[in-house]
Structure 1
Amino acid sequence: MTVGIAAALAVTQPASVSEMILAVGIGGLGALISDIDVGTSASHKDADKITGLSVAVIALALFLDKFFHTGIINRVIYSSGYGKMIFGILLFVGICAFGKEQPHRSFMHSILALILLSCAVGVIWKNAVIYFAVGFISHLATDIFNKRRVRLLYPLKGGVSLGWFHAYGLANTILFVMGSVVAGLESVFFVIRMLQ
């Protein structure tokens, strides 16, 4: 998640509080959602943690929207309307429900999932797609270094793996620290830009 947030902040360079909230919330969601499929290969507890953390990230973004009075929710409703917003949410949840039942690092770690989920986010609100896509892509990029193959071209067989690291080893900690540092620096630069 920290790598996804750092990537979303670095790529989008938020110029307002609402853009910052979107980069953190939607970028974090994009980075997390791929691992909703871990329940099929490990324990359902991991998938439940991913789901819970995703909900927490969205709830935090909604809270910050209300706290800072950024009007994100109002802009989403005005831009998309309730019908499109509900359809997009149902589409997103449906894609994730399908992905949750697939083997780990298959559908939910593919370019197809990136496109489908980005389209669902776009139905909800097109301005959020860039944050989501950058977060999602950052997850795929980091998983490629793993020893297990990532099926980027799902449904085709095979996958991509550089085979450098295990999922829960030292590399995971290094990526967490690097993501946290970059996200922290981006946040400091954001505050400096806002004060100028």
Structure 2
Amino acid sequence: MFHLQTTVVKANMRTHYGSHDILGSLAYNICLLGRKHTGLDAKLPHNAKELLISSFYAMVRRIWLAIMRKTDSTSELSDTLCPADINAALLISDMFVYLELFTTIKHGDTKRLQAILKLLTVMMSAGGSPPYTLELLQMDYGVRYAWTKVKAEAIFSSMLMSTKGQEDSFIPLDLCQVFNNKLVMAPLTCCFLGV
């Protein structure tokens, strides 16, 4: 699930990146905010996630200001769609899917996780991630046709874990594995480097 989350972030980045001169594109926002290590080739998905969430909230706020007529700019209320409006609408729709995935994992709600499989599959396909698209198609097929409800619930439950034993504290199991692998490999790396 952690790798799925990071892949959804990367797919959103690739889909909505645009260029530095297109108002409302992620590249424009990166230049405007002066963000570093956040481009398409960035190695840290956390930075990209923060940029996407900041852009999402800024666009939602912009729309709210336009609707509530709290802005001084008349162009905000025009009937024609400028590139910023189009980019905002597209990014907001994709970010709703990401936020749904994030909250579904946090709450440990396997039923909602099964329900958003189809949307995630479409996003992975559009975002240029064929391996994840195929994997999600296989999971969706299993949920709909091949697996019993008990088996589907068991499979999705095995992807999540609660580290605190409380509600709303679930994390993806593979995230825990990534951290454990780093803890195991750190002493070995020091031994091989002669430290």
TM-score with structure 1 setting the length: 0.30
Flag the structure with more relative contact order, 1 or 2, with Cα contacts below 8 A and sequence separation at least 6: 1
Rg (Cα) greater in structure = 2
TM-score with structure 2 setting the length: 0.30
Query: Which structure dedicates a bigger proportion of its chain to helix?
Result: 1
